[in-house]
Every structure is written in structure tokens, then in C-alpha cells.
Amino acid sequence: MSDLVGVGVGRGISVASVLTMPEPLAPPSDEPLAAPVDAEADRVQLALQQVADELRMRAAAAGGEAQEVLEASALMAQDPAILGDVRSRMEAGANAERATWDAYAAFRDMLTSMGGYMAERATDLDDVSQRVVARLRGVPAPGVPESSEPFVLVARDLAPADTAMLDLTKTVALVTQDGGPTSHTAILARSKSLPAVVGVVGLLDAVTDGQVAIVDAKAGTVVLDPDEASVAAARAERDSRARAASAPITEGALADGTKVPLMANVGSAKDAPGAVELGAEGVGLFRTEFLFLDATSAPTVEEQTAAYVAVLEAFPGKKVVVRVLDAGADKPLAFLNDAHEENPALGLRGIRALRASEQILRDQLTALANAQAATDAELYVMAPMIADREETEYFVSLGKELGLERVGAMAEVPSIAVVADQVLEVADFVSIGTNDLTQYTMAADRQLGTVSAMQDPWHPAVLRLVKMLGDAGSSAGKLVGVCGEAAADPALAVVLVGLGVTSLSMSASAIADVRAELLTVTLEEAKQRATRALAATSAAGAREAAAG
């Protein structure tokens, strides 16, 4: 019996035999192009179209977060820049398969070098490349193995198209060597309530098909070849956790009755009904980028108002936190950002970009004020990437000038925690985006494999910044929430509450697990776990200390 350790997704536990994802297609040969370029270009274009159609079909069938991910992959299959690059390579003598393979590889390297969100999409791009080359070869694309019995799926990483379409009657757990808690693999596994452990170093060298494995997402462990007693204990624990997660929906609270509102992160109005069904008490992060990302110019006030009203109407009398446009770095917009910044992650992004194009910000705030007046929801509006009191004063005063009642700041830059007392003298609330706060604190791009060990919100440096914000909120009598993926980690959610966080927002599918975990501790116990985690010297040490 041996243990492997990674980052757990959720709090589920499963026992089954291992099946490993097949290896990717072998690279194409370097044989020169034999057919006319035009004919081969038409063949590549057809393959790209077929892959895009297949991904859209899977997207429509999957729905929810998976639909958005797969639709993004479909766009990658139809990027005209890719086809142009493929044609150029064929004109230089490469055969169709090699030209396609190399064009996507170049695109992948470019995304990886950009870091952050764009680096996270590199795995998605590899999947598209594999599917297109498979079409050109006339062979099936590598995919999830088939089995008549339930199994634990082991992979280097999993493409969104495969994760989205997993048969959950057969795939009972997922374990990957690469990836982290904010990868598409983790996000989609969480949306399916599938126990998963990601980022397991040495995984593929350690496992063999047919081995029995216990996958414990709560502990972040994979136990290979367990004895009968361990298997029996794991199955009993699985049943216990399942009962807790499926308990009747109640408000988020600790064992002593301390209320901790549990809210959902949503990306569009269509996500709202599902979030309500899963027990969301409101919206802790409504991302407005979907209105802007595919546009050549900013949407009108009227268009934005309609979109915001649709979300607010789904939560009458409930809190809805809206983040104004977060553009720049990994999400540049032609009408807002300078595409030539050498280091855009530290450049004109978030509130800085909006401040430089104030009319876009004014229009968005006006639309939000209109939606506030037209609905019964409690609207809270925040700006991304706020660094200090001066930026807070600018945003809060502008929001109030345009009619908003509750205006705050999103804490993603470490400096805001250092001056949290000053910020909370001005802001009505603060919401902590743990994904960016972690990468900026640790100077480590999310999902960049070479620094993956540093991309962990459990690191005491990150937790200490959260405590600064929590303490300042308590002193000022202001709300301090968390809306990053850290809130979806049940064990970390307890620690966050112990650090002074007053609400938690996450993927709606994670709410049941977090609710169940919070009910196991009192506020004093949560504070004790937080104190132990703060005293640790590493992320792993903080996890262990909090659990002890």
C-alpha cells in the first residue's frame, strides 16, 4: 500500500481499479508535401470545421461551465490565424499533418509563454490539435478508455472535451499528473461533483492499469493497492460524505450557528437558475467579461442593463456582487488595452485600464445603477485589481456619483491587504480573489507547470494577507468575502472563516460540500485551525496543521 499526494478537488472519496488515458498521437512524419497546396489546405479546413462542429455538439450536450469551455475550444479550431499558418508551412514544403501539428505547437508555446489564464488554455489547444490531426489521418482521436466496470481515470491531464463528457456511472474519480486547482480539469471535475486529485508528481510512473486505488479528494491523496480494511473504511466514508453532501439545503452556517453565506460565482444570466437550485444564497462574483470579450467595441448601456437585470431578477432580495470589466493581461480587449505591453500582467489591466478609458467604466456603472433600480436584489459592485486607498476612493466616488448604493474593491494585489484599514475606511466591502492574490503574492503564474508548487492559496503568506483583510473588515464593521477558487476547498473554507472572512463564493456545484464541512466546526474551532495554518512554513504544512 502506497500513498501519492496532490491537490484535492472537492471532498468526495472513491475506490475502484485504475485505467490510464491512452498516449497522444505520435508526431507526424517529415515527408514533404506531395499533393497540391490548395487541395491540402481545403482538407485541413474541412478537418478544422469538423472538429469545431464536434466540440460545439459536445458543448450543447454538456451545458453549464463545460459548455463555455468547449465552445472556447471550438473557436480555437476555427482561428483563421491557425489556418493561415498551416498554409504557409505547406507552401514551404511541409505535409498537411506536420504543418497542422507545428502550427498548433507554435500557438501553444506562445500561450504558455504568456502565463496566467492563457497558459491554462495550452492543454485545451493540444486537444484541438490532436483531434484535427486524427481527422487528417482518418483515425479516432485519443479519448477516455471504455470499461464495463467503474474505474479511476488516470491521465497526464485531461482535455475539456473529455472531462465534460465523462460517463459518471463508470468514471468514479479522476487523478492527473499535471494541472492545479484552477485548471479546466479541476473546474469541470468540481462542476460534476467528481472526486479528483490533480498535480500528483510522478503519477504515471507509479500506477499500473488494474491497480485498486482509493482517491480521497478531501485529503488530496491516492492510495494504491490498499488492504481490505482500508477499502472498507473508504467505502463507509464515501457513504457518509455522500449523505452529508445531499442533506437538505440550508443557509451556510457553522456548528454553533454562526452564519456564513454561501454564494455562487457566475459568468452569465443563464448560470443563475442552476446556482439557485444548488443552494446558492446569492452571487458572490458575477463576471461581466462575457459582454465584452467577443466585441469590437464596448456594448451599449442598454445592452448591459438588460444583461444585469436578467441576473439580478434571479436573486430577489439576495446579495449579488458584480465585478466590473476585468480586462488586460490574459484577457486583452482591442478597444481597451495596449496589445504591446512587455509584461501585461503587471501593466494596464483591471481598474487601471478602466480608469484610462473612463467612459467605458461610466457606461458600465450607469447600466448597473439602472439594473439596481429595476430589481429587488441587493447589488454590490466592485472593481478588479485595486491596489490602495487612492484607487478605492476613485472607484467608490464614481460609483456613488452614478447612483450605486454599495461599492467596493476586489483584493487581488498584495498591497491592498497591507493597507486594508485605509481601504475599508472608503470601500463598503472587500471581496478577495484568491486566484490572483496567490499568483501575485508568490510571483507565480497560475497553471505554469514550472512554478506549480508555488500556486497554492494554502501558503501562509497568502493566508496572512487574508487575515489582514479580515481583521480590517472586522474593525471597520465591513463585509470581507472570498470569491476565488479557494472558497470551493472545504477544508480551506473553514480556515478562511477563521481568518475573518464573512462569506464564501464558489462554483455552485461546490456549495454542498462546503456547507457540510462548515457544519462540523464552531467559530472558535475555525479560528484555531486558522491560527495553526498561519504558523506553518509551507502550503503543505498549513494543510496538515489545519487538519491536525
What pLDDT, on a 0 to 100 scale, did the predictor assign at position 262? 97
Cell numbers standing for residue 454: 508555488
Amino acid type, 177: Q
DSSP state of 91: H
Angle between helices 37-62 and 122-137 (to 10 degrees): 120
Ordered mean pLDDT values, 10 residues apiece, the chain (548 residues): 82 92 85 90 92 86 72 82 90 93 87 61 79 89 83 88 81 89 75 88 92 92 94 91 78 97 89 89 91 76 94 93 79 55 76 91 97 97 97 98 98 98 98 93 72 81 98 98 90 97 92 92 98 95 89
Half-sphere exposure at residue 192, Cβ-oriented, CA atoms within 13 angstroms: 25
What pLDDT, on a 0 to 100 scale, did the predictor assign at position 176? 92
Contact 408, 398 (CB under 8 A): no
Residues 132/134/136/138 CA torsion (nearest 10 deg): -140
State the catalytic residue, choosing from 56, 58, 184, 238: 184
287 alpha carbon, distance to own chain's centre: 12
Strands (E) in 352-462, as ranges, are 378-383, 407-411, 429-432
CA nearest to 503, candidates 443, 432, 448:
432
What pLDDT, on a 0 to 100 scale, did the predictor assign at position 125? 80
| Rounded distance between C-alpha atoms, residue 79 and residue 522, angstroms | 52
pLDDT of 212-263, one tens digit each? 999 999 888 999 999 999 999 999 998 887 787 677 888 999 999 999 999 9
Strands (E) in 165-303, as ranges, are 171-176, 196-198, 212-216, 221-224, 262-266, 282-287
Is 522 among the residues known to form the active site? no
Cell numbers standing for residue 506: 464558489
What pLDDT, on a 0 to 100 scale, did the predictor assign at position 322? 97
Rounded (to 5) percent helix, strand, coil in the chain = 50, 15, 35
| Rounded distance between C-alpha atoms, residue 362 and residue 366, angstroms | 6
| Rounded distance between C-alpha atoms, residue 150 and residue 173, angstroms | 9
The CA distances from residue 489 to 279, 391, 505, in Å, are 17, 31, 11
What pLDDT, on a 0 to 100 scale, did the predictor assign at position 341? 64
The three-state DSSP-derived secondary structure of 434-493 is HHHHHHHHHCCCCCCHHHHHHCCCCCHHHHHHHHHHHHHHHHHCCEEEECCHHHHCHHHH
What pLDDT, on a 0 to 100 scale, did the predictor assign at position 435? 87
Report the b/e string of 385-421 with b at 16+ CB within 10 A.
bbbebebbebbbebbeebebebbbbbbbbbebbebbe
Q: Count of CB atoms within 10 A of residue 217's CB?
A: 30
| Rounded distance between C-alpha atoms, residue 79 and residue 48, angstroms | 9
Contact 191, 509 (CB under 8 A): yes
What pLDDT, on a 0 to 100 scale, did the predictor assign at position 236? 93
What pLDDT, on a 0 to 100 scale, did the predictor assign at position 469? 98
State the catalytic residue, choosing from 483, 492, 508, 546: 483
Contact 384, 354 (CB under 8 A): no
Is 483 among the residues known to form the active site? yes
What pLDDT, on a 0 to 100 scale, did the predictor assign at position 273? 87
CA nearest to 505, candidates 486, 479, 526:
486
**Domains of the chain by range and CATH?**
2-22+143-233 (3.50.30.10), 37-137 (1.10.274.10), 262-547 (3.20.20.60)
Length of the chain: 548
Cell numbers standing for residue 247: 442533506
Parallel/antiparallel/unpaired status of strands 262-266 and 503-506? parallel
What pLDDT, on a 0 to 100 scale, did the predictor assign at position 9? 84
